[in-house]
Amino acid sequence: MFVNHRIRLLLLILLSCTGSNLAAQWNWVSGFVTIQTISPDSFTGQDPAVKIGGLSGICYDARRKVYYAISDKKPARFYTLQLDSLDSRPIVLAETRITYPDLPAPTALDPESIRITQDGETLIWTNEANSTIHLMDLRGEVYRIIQLPPPYQPGRKGMGIQGNSGLESLAISPEGTTLVVASEHMLKQDEACGATWMPPYHPLRLVFIDLATGDILYEKLYYAQNGHGLVDLIWDAEGSIWCLERSWSPLTGNDILVYRVDINNGSSLQGHPSLCDLDSETTWPVKATLIHDFQAERKSGKQRRYDNIEGMTFGPGTSKDQWRMILVSDDNFDKRQVTQIIELPIHR
């Protein structure tokens, strides 16, 4: 079995080399990476005691030319931001409280990723606390909740999401009909065999959902770097998915990677509640190409500090060959951390 895994690792390396043309086409311009911070005291909303922070997801409203960033702590809320250029500090325009006028409000709330529909009228976000997807209008009124099935629910013996490792990420397809979500770390039912699959990676699931019905359409296998969590996704106009991975250690701080994934390949996991039902020798992940390593500056001695990056979106100026990525960090309402807004231009 050990020999088989060595062969499998070699094949993955060869596949990565095969994708080197794609990697060569996409280059990031480190000289234009811009970082700004938002102070907790820079904005006062409905309650002066409720500070801006905990920003775990961000999306761009092209019609209104503003961004929405969602907070992961009660009271449930999102902020409207103006980021014309990160040459100047972001402007916080408004705080909007999230309410449930016609639905029972969940007892546990941990908002994470947020996206806006094509018509610009609905915001969709994930609740990590109970594996649900919430649809609301721009006033913050939730009108529909999509519940994921038991294999993705918390609090189940030997099954479901791990504590504080649920639905961190969300993306919507270019045509607006399909959602994709992923848990930050392995599901409990996958842990028993996950370590045998492909060190130094660990297997995660990209779960594709029909927005109209809430049904799972299919699942694909994704290999995250060992020790990394998958914290956000973007589905671009060309049909590829961008994956944001993040890890943290007291010695090196936050390690942040951005990949672009071809979802047209990789094995389907549909109908297999546990990866242990599958043969690790014949089950393949989607092919991911590393686009940007945010710690390259630190590793090269430039010592640029990136905080707890959790959300990403594409902003204005994004075209076929030029992408403007905006990322946001969650300060965890900790005085030792900061809320960062980061701009990363990528060109082909």
- Reply yes or no on whether the pLDDT at 64 is more than 90: yes
Q: How confident is the model at residue 32 (pLDDT cuts 50, 70, 90)?
A: low
The pTM assigned to this predicted structure is 0.90
- Reply yes or no on whether the pLDDT at 297 is more than 80: no
- Reply yes or no on whether the pLDDT at 5 is more than 60: no
| Nearest C-alpha neighbor of 279 from the set 8, 16, 12 | 8
Query: pLDDT (tens digit, 9 = 90+) per residue, 109-130?
Result: 999 999 999 999 999 999 999 9
Predicted confidence at residue 280, as pLDDT, reads 82
Predicted confidence at residue 341, as pLDDT, reads 96
**Total number of domains in the chain:** 1
Peptide bond into 203 cis (omega under 30): no
End-to-end CA distance of the chain: 41
Query: pLDDT (tens digit, 9 = 90+) per residue, 79-115?
Result: 999 997 787 889 999 999 999 999 999 999 999 999 9
- Reply yes or no on whether the pLDDT at 307 is more than 70: yes
Predicted confidence at residue 300, as pLDDT, reads 65
- The region of weakest confidence among 8-17, 211-220, 243-252 is 8-17
CATH code of 324's domain: 2.120.10
- Reply yes or no on whether the pLDDT at 292 is more than 80: yes
Domain interval for residue 79? 2-347
| Nearest C-alpha neighbor of 182 from the set 150, 222, 140, 155 | 222
CA distance 71 to 114: 10
Cβ(123)–Cβ(138) below 8 Å = yes
- The region of weakest confidence among 20-34, 119-133, 165-179, 273-287 is 20-34
| Nearest C-alpha neighbor of 88 from the set 40, 51, 37 | 37
Of residues 236 and 32, which shows the higher confidence score?
236
Percentage of the chain lying above the pLDDT 70 cut: 87
Cβ(258)–Cβ(265) below 8 Å = no
- Reply yes or no on whether the pLDDT at 28 is more than 60: no
CA distance 175 to 134: 19
